[in-house]
Amino acid sequence: MSKFIEVKGDKLVRNFKNCPKCGDGFWMGEHSDRSTCGKCGYTDFKSKGKKRN
Ligand SMILES: [Zn+2]
């Protein structure tokens, strides 16, 4: 496995969400409209106002 993010200690600003699949320590990359886990590829789309169709 690549060392995508390996953080020990609390120096990192915890702005990122944890990947719900990979668990603690695996942060999700922030994009304008989504968050993506760099490890498993899990993507959490941000819904600014839910679409109603
Ligand atoms: Zn993941």
Q: Kindly give the distance from the C-alpha atom of residue 35 to the centroid of ligand 1, in angstroms, as a whole number.
A: 11
Cα of 53 vs centre of ligand 1, distance in Å, is: 30
pLDDT at 36: 92
**Which tens digit of pLDDT belongs to each residue from 1-53?**
556 666 666 555 556 688 999 998 888 888 888 999 999 999 989 876 666 66
Ligand 1 centroid to 10 CA: how many Å? Answer: 20
Per the confidence metrics, is the pTM higher than 0.85? no
- pLDDT the model gives residue 22: 93
Please name the residues in contact with 23: beta carbons below 8 A apart, sequence gap of 6 or more.
none
Distance 46 CA to ligand 1 centre (A): 16
